[in-house]
C-alpha cells in the first residue's frame, strides 16, 4: 500500500477573479505534493466537478455570483479541507464558524499561503519544508518570471529585467530593461507574486528591484534614470533592509 504522506494532495481553485486564480495557481505550483486538478470561476461548476472527482483541498473565494463560497461549503457533504481566499475580511467570523482550515486575505503572500497549507496538511509539512521551501521564504528562487495580463493576453516578464513598478490610478506600469508594460492589475496583487529578496515596496505607488537600486537617501531612491520618493509608511522597512 503506498505511503499516504508521499501521495499528491489533489486540490482545486474556486474564484470568479481570473487574476486571483493566477496567484493561487502559481503558489500551488511552488509547493511539492500539491496537485491542481481543476479551477473554476463559480461554485456551481465546482459542485458538478466534485460529483465526479475526489478532492483533498479547496482554495475558495467567498464573494461570488450565484452561489457564495459560504453557501457552497454549507452544501457539501463530507467536505474536504477548505482554505478561504477573499478580499473581504468581514466574512472571517462566519467562515471559521464553518470549521474551515484557514482564511487568507487578498492580496495573499506566499509565506501566509504556505502556513495555511501546512495547517491543512500537517502530515506533509516535513515533506514540503525539505524540498527547499520554508515558512520564512516567500517565493521559490527557481521562479524567475511572472505573467501579467496586458493587451488581452498573458505576457511573460522576467523578474531580472524589472526595474520598478508604478501604480497609476486604475493601471500599473511595469518598467523593464526593454520598455514598460501596462496592466490593469493592482500593485498589491503584483507585489504578492514577487520575492522579498528581490523587490521592496518603497511607496504606495512604487515597488523597486533591489538589484537595480543605484543610490538612496531617507527621502528618495535613484533607480534606472528615475528618482522616486520613499513613502513615510515604507521608510523604516526600506532603510532596515538596506542596513542588513
> Could you tell me if 41 and 81 lie in one domain?
yes
> Could you tell me if 194 and 120 lie in one domain?
no
Instruction: Flag whether 172 is in a domain.
Output: yes
> Could you tell me if 9 and 121 lie in one domain?
yes
> Could you tell me if 37 and 97 lie in one domain?
yes
Q: What would the DSSP string read from start to end of 177-202?
A: TTEEEEESS-HHHHHTTS-TTTEEEE
> Could you tell me if 14 and 86 lie in one domain?
yes
Domain ranges, residue 200: 145-243
Instruction: Flag whether 136 is in a domain.
Output: no
Instruction: Flag whether 205 is in a domain.
Output: yes
Per-residue pLDDT of the chain in tens (244 residues, 90 and over written 9):
445 556 789 999 999 988 889 889 988 988 888 999 999 999 999 999 999 999 999 999 999 989 999 999 999 988 899 999 988 777 666 666 788 889 898 888 887 888 889 888 866 553 454 344 433 334 444 467 887 888 877 788 888 999 999 998 778 999 999 999 999 888 887 887 787 788 999 999 999 999 999 999 999 999 988 999 999 999 998 988 887 6
> Could you tell me if 203 and 239 lie in one domain?
yes
Name the nearest CA neighbour of 69 among 108, 17, 111.
17
Q: What is the CATH number of the domain that holds 94?
A: 3.40.50.2300
Q: What would the DSSP string read from start to end of 50-118?
A: HTTS--SEEEE-SS-SSS-HHHHHHH-SS--EEEEEES-GGGHHHHHHTT-SEEEESSPPHHHHHHHHH
Q: Are strands 9-14 and 162-168 parallel, antiparallel or unpaired?
A: unpaired
Instruction: Flag whether 18 is in a domain.
Output: yes
Instruction: Flag whether 170 is in a domain.
Output: yes
Instruction: Flag whether 140 is in a domain.
Output: no
pLDDT tens sequence across 108-131: 888 788 888 988 886 655 345 434
Angle at 143 between CA 138 and CA 149, to 5 degrees: 95
Name the nearest CA neighbour of 62 among 95, 108, 38, 96.
95
**Contact criterion met (CB below 8 Å) for 133 and 70:** no
> Could you tell me if 58 and 123 lie in one domain?
yes
Amino acid at each position: 500500500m503506498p505511503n499516504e504522506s508521499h501521495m499528491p494532495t489533489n486540490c482545486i481553485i474556486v474564484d470568479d477573479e481570473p487574476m486571483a486564480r493566477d496567484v493561487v495557481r502559481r503558489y500551488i505550483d511552488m509547493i511539492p505534493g500539491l496537485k491542481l486538478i481543476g479551477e473554476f470561476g463559480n461554485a456551481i461548476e465546482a459542485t458538478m466537478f466534485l460529483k465526479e472527482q475526489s478532492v483533498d483541498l479547496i482554495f475558495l473565494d467567498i464573494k461570488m455570483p450565484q452561489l457564495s463560497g459560504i453557501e457552497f461549503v454549507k452544501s457539501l457533504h463530507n467536505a474536504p479541507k477548505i482554505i478561504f481566499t477573499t478580499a473581504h475580511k468581514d466574512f472571517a467570523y462566519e467562515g471559521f464558524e464553518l470549521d474551515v482550515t484557514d482564511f487568507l486575505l487578498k492580496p495573499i503572500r506566499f509565506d501566509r499561503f504556505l502556513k495555511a497549507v501546512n495547517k491543512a496538511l500537517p502530515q506533509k509539512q516535513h515533506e514540503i519544508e525539505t524540498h527547499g521551501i520554508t515558512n520564512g521564504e516567500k517565493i521559490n528562487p527557481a521562479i524567475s518570471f511572472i505573467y501579467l495580463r496586458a493587451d488581452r493576453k498573458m505576457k511573460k516578464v522576467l523578474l531580472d529585467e524589472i526595474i520598478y513598478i508604478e501604480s497609476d490610478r486604475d493601471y500599473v506600469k511595469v518598467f523593464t530593461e526593454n520598455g514598460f508594460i501596462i496592466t490593469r492589475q493592482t500593485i498589491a496583487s503584483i507585489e504578492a507574486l514577487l520575492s522579498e529578496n528581490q523587490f521592496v515596496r518603497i511607496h504606495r505607488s512604487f515597488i523597486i528591484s533591489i538589484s537595480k537600486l543605484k543610490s538612496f537617501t531617507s527621502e528618495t531612491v535613484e533607480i534606472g534614470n528615475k528618482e522616486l520618493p520613499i513613502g513615510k509608511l515604507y521608510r523604516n522597512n526600506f532603510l532596515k533592509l538596506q542596513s542588513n
